[in-house]
Amino acid sequence: MHRPAGAFPCLRLLVVLTLGSVNFCDGGITSSFSRKLQKSVDMPLDSDVFRVPSGHNAPQQVTFCNAVFLTSFGLNLMKVHITLGNHDGSSMIISWVTQDEPGSSKVLYGTDKDHLHKSAQGKHTRYKFYNYTSGYIHHCTIHHLQHDTKYYYAIGIGHTVRTFWFTTPPKVGPDVPYIFGLIGKFIYMPWLYAILQVLYTFLFFAFHCHGSKLVDSQHILSGDLRQTYDSNITLSHYEANRKAQAVLYVGDLSYADHYPNHDNVRWDTWGRFVERSTAYQPWIWTAGNHELDFAPEIGEAKPFKPFTHRYHVPYISSGSTAPFWYSLKLGSAHIIVLASYSAYGKYTPQYSWLEAELPKVNRTETPWLIVLVHSPWYNSYNYHFMEGESMRVMFEQWFVQYKVDVVFSGHVHAYERSVVNGKCEPVVDGSAPVYVTIGDGGNIEGPANNMTEPQPSYSAFREASFGHAVFEIKNRTHAYYAWHRNQDGNEVVADSFWFYNRSWNSADI
């Protein structure tokens, strides 16, 4: 597609989506690409990607909200992840698990990897689920970070120390370059992992020997990933793309509820599986139905227990009363995360919060308004058909009023882009958002392929494949979106679309 006038690379917001890309409402296209229709296969629990890190009480399952990428090459990794710690990215939440004993919740950090002169003290927690007892789950928030700066951090102090790094997001502004990625339904599968491990090793030497980083600090959008071989392909394909600065994850993480008694060991293996990315890049979390873990038949009647213990998000800084709906700002984007499985009717906390949040969005500071919600509002597959309808009825009028640019969802294990700028039914309005379903990370059920026929007028493009996508904000008026199918080469774009900002442009052209 041609590059439109005014699409200058001064504001890049790239989102890697696992299900697809966005095009014009061109009469509705059902892709002719034929993927082998079979269920995905879980990777064995003794696969390298699930390997426990070596050393006494070594941290694992590392994450940070604004996360960094961590490789598993030559290491047994702890489950580490990072995410944003406040509304504007000047704080980071670092999370990890120690198995043998609590150990230290302290994080050492600094801009010189050989001199980590600053420290922050976190806390640890545990939980029980049926016959499972978790390890010691640590969360530590680092405050007062400089924007657009690379930091190194060390955890496991006093036992086995592990060191990682992350890059803080740039200061929020209308013309700040930024890239988001998107992945959906990521599930881990072992035989696929073996193939990917060979590919990963090759890429490591190919990039490392030429003085390049295997994975740069970028952002991706995703959901429904799980722990299958297809999940591993999706994650590796995203890593090889090397564009995104953060991941927008639209729900369904470990799929522990797919196994007998909601086997929470799968939460541990999933954490180790994705640590190679979540320890270096921020992942923005959305709760899906597979995070509910509601099982009163085995005495587990508290929804979201494993998810809320393991994954912390900066909901308080946006005035939310629960971690399932919140907002944050990255680059030139204001991101709103909603909860499909928490009450959203009138007078409920989520309804009241969103009603107050939307008028606060300053489009001169953050021109791009992005919404993440697990269950899609527009879905022409027979899977989960109309499940998001009641939420759409409640909130869509607000999305049109406040000119939301794009809504990313998961849940359906396929890709679909619909209702492009109000040119499709039923909302004929130039201020209506684009809706993209991206639940194609690699779930165990395989891709959804049973579609409603004829293709509804609101559906612009759909394909039953796994993949990831990139959403690159060029400036306050233009953004470029590209979807990459797993079966294609790293640079091959299966679907692409130019976005024209709803607040700064009258219509897509």
DSSP bridge partners of 118: 109
Among 81, 384, 413, 478, the active-site one is 384
Q: Give the end-to-end CA distance of the chain in Å, rounded to a whole number.
A: 12
**Cβ pair 197, 405 in contact under 8 A:** no
Rounded CA gap, 439 and 102, in Å? 36
HSE (side-chain half, CA atoms, 13 Å) at 444: 19
| Residue spans of beta strands (DSSP E) within 171-320 | 178-188, 219-228, 246-249, 283-285
| Residue spans of beta strands (DSSP E) within 90-209 | 92-98, 106-110, 118-121, 123-125, 128-129, 132-133, 136-142, 150-155, 162-167, 178-188
> Does the active-site annotation cover 374?
no
Number of helices and strands in the chain (H, E): 6, 26
Handedness of CA 229, 258, 287, 439 (dihedral sign): positive
Structure tokens at 407: 């809504």
Rounded CA gap, 101 and 80, in Å? 16
User: For residues 458-479, b (16+ Cβ closer than 10 Å) or e, as one string?
Assistant: bbbbbbbbbbbbbbbbbbbbbb
Number of residues assigned to the chain? 509
**Cβ pair 171, 228 in contact under 8 A:** no
**Cβ pair 437, 404 in contact under 8 A:** no
Distance of CA 10 to the CA centre of its chain: 24
Catalytic positions are: 384
